[in-house]
Structure 1
Amino acid sequence: MNRVQDLSILIKLTGERAKLDAKANGTYIVYKTDKGEIVREYANGEIISIKDPDIPHEW
């Protein structure tokens, strides 16, 4: 494999690990979708869009 493929695999594994940690700790992960939207994904599968990513703590 080349470096780009290796990096792609590591990024995917890191995201999967983050989901496991969030589930174990009762929290969520935050990421940017392919459409450029910032979202929170909870362990139960619920995905909530963050309306204004410039606000540090949106409740």
Structure 2
Amino acid sequence: MTDLTQDLAKLIRLTGDRAKLDAKANGTYVVYKTTEGQIVREYSTGKIEKMNEQDFTHE
């Protein structure tokens, strides 16, 4: 990996960590894609819930 790629990977990881801290402080959740390709919600309690297509639609 180049230094630029390593720096970018570090920034992405830190951004995710910050999002989790903000979610915990506000009693909300973060949404992300796992390495297996599944979209999940991770609550501040540590509970992880898989999302499906119906969860993506807004009315």
TM-score range, shorter chain: 0.7 to 0.9
| Alignment partners' CA distance in 2, 1:40 and 1:5 | 26
Q: Distance in 2 between matches of 1:18 and 1:42?
A: 11
Which protein has the bigger helix share? Answer: 2
The gaps in structure 1 that reach 5 residues or longer are none
TM-fit CA distance, 1:51? 1.5
**Structure 1 position 54, deviation (Å):** 6.8
Query: 1:47 is matched with which residue?
Result: 48
SS in 2 for 1:18: helix
Quick check: 1:10 aligned with 2:11? yes
What do you get for the CA RMSD once the two structures are aligned?
1.7
* Aligned residue pairs, count: 57
Unpaired runs of 5+ residues, structure 2, are: none
Between stretches 44-53 and 28-37, larger displacement belongs to 44-53
Tell me which stretches of 4 or more aligned residues in structure 1 moved more than 4 Å: none
Output the TM-score relative to the length of structure 2.
Answer: 0.87
Partners of 2:30 and 2:19 in 1: how far apart?
7
The answer to whether structure 1 residue 20 and structure 2 residue 31 are counterparts is no
Same amino acid, percent of matched pairs: 60
Give the structure-1-normalised TM-score: 0.87
